[in-house]
Amino acid sequence: MKTMTDIRTDLLQLAMDLRWTWIESMRRPFAMLNSAVWISSNENPIAVLEATSDAYLDARLEESEFQAVIERAFAAQEQDDSRQRWFDRAAHRNEQSLRIAYVCSEFAIHECMPQYAGGLGVLAGDHLKSCADLGIPLTGFGLLYRQGYYQQELRKDGSTRVIEPQWIFENLPISDTGEQIACPIGRSIVDARINHISVGQVDLYLLDTDLDSNRVRDRELTRGLYRGDSDLRLRQQVLLGVGAVHAAEAMGLEPTVWHLNEGHAAFCGVERIARFVEAGIDRDIAERRVADTTVFTTHTPVPAGHDRYDLGRCTEVLRPTLSRAEMSKRDLARLGQEGNDGPLCMTILAMRLARHVNGVAALHGEVSREMWASVYGCEAKDVPITHITNGVHPATWMPPIAADFWQREIGLRPKRSVPRCETWTKATTADPRAFWAMRQTLRSRLVQVVRERLVAQSRRRGEDPAGVERARTALRGDALTIGFARRFATYKRAVLLFHDLDRLEAILGDADRPVQVLFAGKAHPLDELGQASAKKIHTMCKRPGLQGKVVLVEEYDMGLGRLLTSGCDVWLNTPIRPHEASGTSGMKGPLSGGLNLSIADGWWPEAADGRNGWTIDGHSEGLSARERDQADANALYELLESEIVPLFHTQGSAGLPRGWIRRALRSTATVNPSFSSHRMVAEYLQWSYRPAHSSRS
């Protein structure tokens, strides 16, 4: 018979295996053990275990239901461990030695570990999860931030209050490997502890410099994500790129392919050149070997969005690495400058040290080829930048209610991981009445949780009882629910919907055809324009004609993202084309039968077929900024007035909006097969990882 210590050890082992973030039966014991702590801790199983006394755990273990839940959790883990992965079936003989190192500045695995700021981190987390599901041999490398990004509160006037928590890593499903590296940054040798997160069969190693052995300025390197001045960011990126190579060596890993996810990790290539040179290889050959085995993904279609640093300062902070690589300031300039002078651009450095470069959507690939044609010295059509369109991890973003529905209706097997799941194409055959019941359940759950958060926000701001009551009664369970949630970067135009308030109030003010809009999002702490967008939305929520129908929910994170993307009927996306590289939030709604309403930017042009959502086309290209916003807003209102609202609220004799249901089921059938991260990582394997691995020497 197991002792209490044995049982705690078993549960701790389960908690440290982050497959519970997407395998529901593996997280159920913790939710059942102490639901209050589970909710208050953002579903952190370590917090649940710490809050549970031996006496209480012993009492729960006497319950047969709890014992059965634990047994099913370990059975699910064992079953997933024992199944043959797709990669094992599909791998060629020469790929048995393939080992991929994936370097990124942020990773979003779960909301209880806020080591991410936005879409880049969510994409990276989904990349790791799909590699774990498919069995692709990949290891992640990044930094572990003591304060994460930041927590958001809005003051009574709508201004942003930035809260910087101090995370205690021992209270999170993160372990200390016991290994450290010494990373040279300028005149400093910076110690960094290597921490480990188990993402199923994929390992994620994160570096932490907040150690007593380091100087204060070096401890700051992993204090926060995207914080501080330009020099701090530069030194962080030395730690990320150079440190990742040191960490791989410390952990006994020998990657055959290095994937740099965005330019933050570009210095990885310089460190790898240094190691080849130290091994006696000519530097020019070393550069070619690094490029041949490096994959680089760029995510930013706006030139100003790419990190640039003073070349002299870059030379200073990289001096120890450059010396080992037998590289001069001129050599670094040759690799990282756009012309013959000016700053070093991290994206250009990464591109010149990578043979396999891609954007993250077809349109973004086109924009990137035009943007960087001068770097490659050729016409845009000949620039060797391809595209691999982003995707989302289905099991992370599909709620259990939807997963059970699709399993019953179309035979979906969520545990069967393949690059492209053709079962989704059967979605149009699902029973309309059962589908509509599922949608109503998800929408009602969303309304309930959002009301609870609005009440908490109202009380924290010190609003009177009438204000708290308005928060408690905001929204309707039967209203057409539109969601807008993402970073509040100005190009995403979060406030476009408010361009014509009279027209918007007329759309939202029809009691017989209720419509409501839910907003969530964060702006960078230094982004005053982005914070102004949040403040304007906050003000609009109080406008008499919009109050209770337009709401803004604070602290946008993965948990709120799952709730919104699954519960909203329509996902709104209004960027300035072509500034959205890809976007992935709109890919999540169709997993639960949601529809997209989007500008033809990012991933949407590849998905839209005219019958699975709506494209906002204001014919605004070439117009001034003011004219463009007006044209796009008018096109948005026209779609809402003439198509979207009537379709949702037109019900037949059976009380079902059959036209809406047909379009929603088509959305599910056409979007989900193609826009998963399973398909995405399989394409990376085919078009990037395999060629890079084969070209090593």
Q: How confident is the model at residue 588 (pLDDT cuts 50, 70, 90)?
A: very high
**How confident is the model over 338-357, as pLDDT tens digits?**
988 899 999 999 999 999 99
Q: How confident is the model at residue 309 (pLDDT cuts 50, 70, 90)?
A: very high
Tokens (6 digits) for 223: 């204090």
Which residue from 158, 213, 153 is spatially nearest to 183, judged by alpha carbons?
Answer: 213
DSSP 353: T
Instruction: Judge whether residue 272 has pLDDT over 80.
Output: yes
* Residue at token pair 């995370």: 167
Give the residue-averaged pLDDT of 260-270. 98
Instruction: Judge whether residue 96 has pLDDT over 90.
Output: no
What's the pLDDT at 471?
94
**How confident is the model over 449-480, as pLDDT tens digits?**
999 999 999 999 999 999 999 999 999 999 99
Q: At residue 390, what are phi and psi to the nearest 5 degrees?
A: -60, 165
Predicted TM-score (pTM) of the model is: 0.97
* 72: CB partners within 8 A, 6+ apart: 25, 28
Give the residue-averaged pLDDT of 300-325. 94
What's the pLDDT at 697?
66
Domains with residue ranges and CATH for the chain: 4-82 (no CATH), 87-390+681-694 (3.40.50.2000), 394-665 (3.40.50.2000)
What's the pLDDT at 696?
82
* Residue 299 Cα to chain centre, angstroms: 12
What's the pLDDT at 4?
77
* 550: CB partners within 8 A, 6+ apart: 508, 516, 517, 519, 537, 540, 541, 543
Instruction: Give yes or no for a contact between 198 and 108, defined as CB atoms under 8 angstroms apart.
Output: no
Instruction: Judge whether residue 6 has pLDDT over 70.
Output: yes
What's the pLDDT at 677?
98
Tokens (6 digits) for 57: 């755990």
Q: What is the CA radius of gyration of the chain?
A: 25
Query: Given phi > 0 = left and psi -120 to 50 = alpha, else beta, which region is 613?
Result: left
**How confident is the model over 72-91, as pLDDT tens digits?**
999 999 999 999 999 998 87
**How confident is the model over 55-67, as pLDDT tens digits?**
999 999 999 999 9
Amino acid letter at 478?
D
Tell me the C-alpha distance between 590 and 666, whole Å: 9
Q: How confident is the model at residue 1 (pLDDT cuts 50, 70, 90)?
A: low
Mean pLDDT of the chain: 95
Amino acid letter at 697?
S
Instruction: Give yes or no for a contact between 223 and 232, defined as CB atoms under 8 angstroms apart.
Output: no
- Percentage of the chain lying above the pLDDT 90 cut: 93
Instruction: Judge whether residue 442 has pLDDT over 90.
Output: yes
Instruction: Judge whether residue 220 has pLDDT over 80.
Output: yes
**How confident is the model over 590-633, as pLDDT tens digits?**
999 999 999 999 999 999 999 999 999 999 889 999 999 999 99
Element (H, E) at 49: helix 45-51
**How confident is the model over 648-660, as pLDDT tens digits?**
999 988 889 999 9
Instruction: Judge whether residue 92 has pLDDT over 90.
Output: no
Which residue from 599, 594, 564, 560 is spatially nearest to 583, judged by alpha carbons?
Answer: 599
